[in-house]
Structure 1
């Protein structure tokens, strides 16, 4: 793995299911919005299975699960507005940062830039990262503020590489799901699939990313590619 990552100059992390276990917070925000609309609420296992494509798709899946797949745009907009308000009020009140993540990002901060590339809208993503204590370590946050940006589309990764002034092949995507890996493939980035999170069991057979056992292994491998004291990137 060390040789495969030797050219890496920066890391792009997914957020939900990679840096933080935010499923309980997403469930809380979704159910708060559904309750205000007088609709059915859902348990954590159901909501966890819907995470990964942003709040609009999450809401659409919750509506479809109760026979409201054809709900009008006004209802969807109200649910989204309430979802955002609840998320911003308590970004990580119920979820947790995965073990080892703060050591990972603080360790990498010394040697290479990091960004977050997420299907969560940017304002919500920044709020969660701030609550998690991760925001000070990242150089930029790329959220899917429009449907066209959502992973598996490569746009956010290409924008991150451009902002960092590196080629996409030198940007490493670290995520827990198929959209993360597909986005990296489409952008021409290297990719590492983590074994925690929500979607690592549903990877298409044609994808074969690198895999790590935990944040500590990823940190050790990336530090070893050039040496912990030698910066991998000069801004």
Structure 2
């Protein structure tokens, strides 16, 4: 199971430009890209409160976000070096591949298809396909149930502590990667080669 943003694809520009578009429409100033991306992945903050000053996302915020993101989510999308070959190798080796993302699943399909990765994943689950997004384990459990896979036979790969917490909460092994939106001081791997080794160490 892969997280999408910051793990498979670098969608940093689309995310930060969208958040800044919403902020500007609400009368807030723009924030710097790296700062936004770091906070988006922080499990200890309430994103609605942090970015827009409300306890929960309002209808207006959601509408502004989706309106902009829908138009611009394919702009500046880049697949991280080595990821396309990795998923191709895994698929050829009969792995069941899935995506667990806190993005909207419609956008996730659209974005992954746009960069040529969509066909590799049997399931692409977004926050709108579950009641509780990551770090809650619901998304992970739903993917395991869909494919009748035991948790011992699964692994979740992501660039955020929300991913690791979701996996841990589901009793699933996880790998934290450091090429995404967070800059982890420890317990994270730096390259796709290391990731491939971690995957094959577990499953072979």
> Shared topology, TM-score over 0.5?
yes
2:2–2:156 CA contact under 8 A, matched in 1? yes
The CA deviation string for residues 56-98 of structure 1, in whole angstroms up to 9 with x for no partner, is x5443212xxxx346x86xx32121121122222323124221
Q: Distance in 2 between matches of 1:52 and 1:126?
A: 21
TM, length-normalised to structure 2: 0.85
Structure 1 residue 170: Cα displacement: 0.9
Matched, 1:219 2:201: no
1:78-97 alignment runs, 5 A limit: 78-97=60-79
1:114, 1:137 within 8 Å by CA — same for their partners in 2?
A: yes
Return the alpha-carbon distance in structure 1 between the equivalents of residues 197 and 84 of structure 2: 14
Any idea what SS the aligned residue of 1:184 has?
helix
Tell me by how many angstroms 1:123 deviates: 1.6
Q: Which has the higher contact order (CA 8 A, sep 6+)?
A: 1
Q: Which moved more, 1:18-27 or 1:144-153?
A: 144-153
**Is the contact between residue 135 and residue 162 of structure 2 (CA under 8 Å) also seen in structure 1?**
yes
Structure 2: tracts of 5 or more residues without a match: none
SS state of the match for residue 109, structure 1? helix
Structure with the bigger percentage of helix: 2
What's the offset of the Cα at 1:132? 2.4
Q: Which residue of 2 aligns with 1:62?
A: 51
- Residue of structure 1 aligned with 2:161, choices 178, 181, 186: 178
Q: Once superposed, what is the RMSD of the aligned Cα atoms?
A: 2.7
Residue of structure 1 in register with 2:32 after alignment: 43
In structure 1, runs of 5+ residues without a counterpart are 1-11, 228-235
Residue 230 of structure 1 corresponds to none
| Aligned residue in 1 for 2:81 | 99
Larger Rg: 1
